[in-house]
Structure 1
Amino acid sequence: MKNLKSIALAVVALVSFTVNAQTKKINVEKSNIHWIGKKVSGQHDGTIKIKDGALVMKGDKVTGGKFTVDMTTINTTDLTGDMKGKLDGHLKADDFFGVEKFPTATLEFKKIGDKGNGTYSVTADLTIKGITNPVTFDLVVNGSTATTKVIIDRTKYDIKYKSKSFFDSLGDNFIYDDFELEVSLVM
């Protein structure tokens, strides 16, 4: 009889959580991702589009999230003409993101800590080029928007091009392993 009561309580708790949880789809046209990649002699930056995504909310608290990024939309914004075309093509090639074979990347929230005032510490699984690693970042939610800055070590996703961590003879001609994503989500 005790087991039956425990099961009933678990079902009620699950139903209560499910009823109170709300999935808020991301407006992909208004949301954006700005990327920054750095090298010794400067940096490049650009944009990449979100294909789809949603935050899961319970009341006004974030309880989950899942996003898909369209890797084919990698776009350099600090260059023009031939140089822009070359860098965009190289970033889409196998040296970097291999978008022909891996046209999307995904991010799925796994652990969320409420830091107060609409700020959450998020640990998520990030999958790039079919390789999944955890990333941790702070997410700030303000009404129908959410923002974050995520630092990613590209070498964890088999992106080793001009990485000083793998090639000793690069001198000052290397690209830093970390790149930044500044994300603005509109729900």
Structure 2
Amino acid sequence: MKNLKTIAIALFVAAAGISVNAQTKKIDAKASSIKWVGKKVTGEHSGTVNFKDGAVVLKGKKLVGGSFTVDMTSLTATDLTGEYQGKLNGHLKADDFFGTEKFPTSTLVIKKIGAKAKDVYAVTADLTIKGITKPVNFELAVKGNTATTAFKVDRTKYDIKYGSGNFFQGLGDKTINDDFELAVALKF
């Protein structure tokens, strides 16, 4: 019984030590960026969406966790201007795309991290868009107080099926790719 008590205390102390050694660093939401690209048969559109907040968790210089909230109402196309930009932005924020009135934020929560190379991690995270959570995998490079990644998201997994050739027939050159690309740069 005494040994069991000693083991329990040692585990408690070890767990406390881990949390003391881990450091949560908030991201600078204004200096961090998310760029997106959506492609279709006849071309592509690109733009940005802003972080609302977020943080990475480091143990020493090693990434051990993180979570981020994205302000979906900030979604905007940067390849268009004027009336055409307004129309595309309105459509992307409408219910058949991201439904930003009902779902003003999206989140990403890191669930699993593996070392890939020096300062590069293989990350599995839960991405929530429109209230639907699915796992995504990507590589994240961390250097100093910055981190970068680029990965693709299958929009149809989040009930965004508008213009998808996998769900609608006869779209021809109006077909929109199911995947959209994200390039993320974090500063913390």
Q: TM-score range by the shorter chain?
A: over 0.9
Tell me what 1:39 maps to: 40
Cα offset for 1:168? 1.6
Cα distance in 2 between the residues matched to 1:125 and 1:134: 4
Q: TM-score, normalised by structure 1?
A: 0.98
Q: How does 1:1-187 map to 2 (within 5 A)?
A: 1=1, 2-187=3-188
Gaps in structure 2 of 5+ consecutive residues:
none
Cα offset for 1:6? 2.4
Cα offset for 1:116? 2.5
SS in structure 1 opposite 2:88? helix
Cα offset for 1:85? 0.2
Cα offset for 1:3? 2.4
AA aligned to 1:88 is N
Cα distance in 2 between the residues matched to 1:5 and 1:72: 53
Cα offset for 1:50? 0.2
Gaps in structure 1 of 5+ consecutive residues:
none
Cα distance in 2 between the residues matched to 1:3 and 1:134: 38
SS in structure 2 opposite 1:169? coil
Number of aligned pairs? 187
Q: TM-score, normalised by structure 2?
A: 0.98
Cα offset for 1:171? 2.0
Cα offset for 1:9? 1.9
AA aligned to 1:65 is G
Question: Which aligned segments of 4 or more residues in structure 1 are displaced greater than 4 angstroms?
Answer: none
Cα distance in 2 between the residues matched to 1:148 and 1:22: 21
Deviation string, structure 1 residues 47-105 (Cα, Å, up to 9, x no partner):
00000000000000000000000000001000011100000000000010000000000
Cα distance in 2 between the residues matched to 1:116 and 1:47: 29
Cα offset for 1:42? 0.6
Deviation string, structure 1 residues 95-123 (Cα, Å, up to 9, x no partner):
10000000000000000001131000000
Cα distance in 2 between the residues matched to 1:119 and 1:22: 18
- Root-mean-square deviation (CA, aligned residues, Å) is 0.7
Deviation string, structure 1 residues 144-172 (Cα, Å, up to 9, x no partner):
11000121000000000000110122123
Query: Which range moved further: 169-178 or 103-112?
Result: 169-178
Cα offset for 1:10? 1.5
